[in-house]
């Protein structure tokens, strides 16, 4: 399979078929993201995900154990596959 074909399959699977929602962090929350990075010693992308969970009511679903030390924690994907 060519790279473009793989990308098309990935996008269809993740965004279309899984009915995922994409969330944007409002610009006025960027300073909170930086606080989260410092407070929990998280890298940018982890702090971004945690910030999203503070702005929008959602669960943080990840295999990343760095979230275990935070106040919101995480759940692993297997626990959410059949969640209604």
Please write the tens of the pLDDT for every residue from 39-82: 999 999 999 999 999 999 888 989 999 999 999 999 988 776 65
Which residues span the domain enclosing 28?
Answer: 22-79
User: How many domains does one find in the chain?
Assistant: 1
More confident residue, 6 or 41: 41
The reply to whether 5 falls in a domain is: no
Q: Is the pLDDT of residue 17 over 90?
A: no
The reply to whether 10 falls in a domain is: no
The pLDDT value recorded for residue 40 is: 96
The reply to whether 84 falls in a domain is: no
The reply to whether 64 falls in a domain is: yes
- Residues 33/55, Cβ–Cβ less than 8 Å: no
The reply to whether 6 falls in a domain is: no
Nearest to 64 by CA among 48, 17, 54, 27: 48
The reply to whether 17 falls in a domain is: no
The reply to whether 57 falls in a domain is: yes
Separation CA 54–CA 19 (nearest Å): 21
């Amino acid at each position: 399979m060519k790279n473009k074909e793989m990308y098309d399959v990935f996008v269809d699977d993740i965004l279309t078929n899984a009915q995922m929602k994409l969330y944007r962090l409002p610009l006025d929350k960027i300073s909170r993201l930086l606080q989260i990075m410092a407070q929990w010693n998280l890298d940018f992308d982890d702090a971004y995900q945690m910030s999203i969970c503070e702005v929008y009511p959602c669960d943080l679903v990840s295999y990343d154990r760095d979230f275990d030390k935070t106040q919101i924690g995480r759940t692993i994907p297997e626990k959410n596959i059949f969640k209604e």
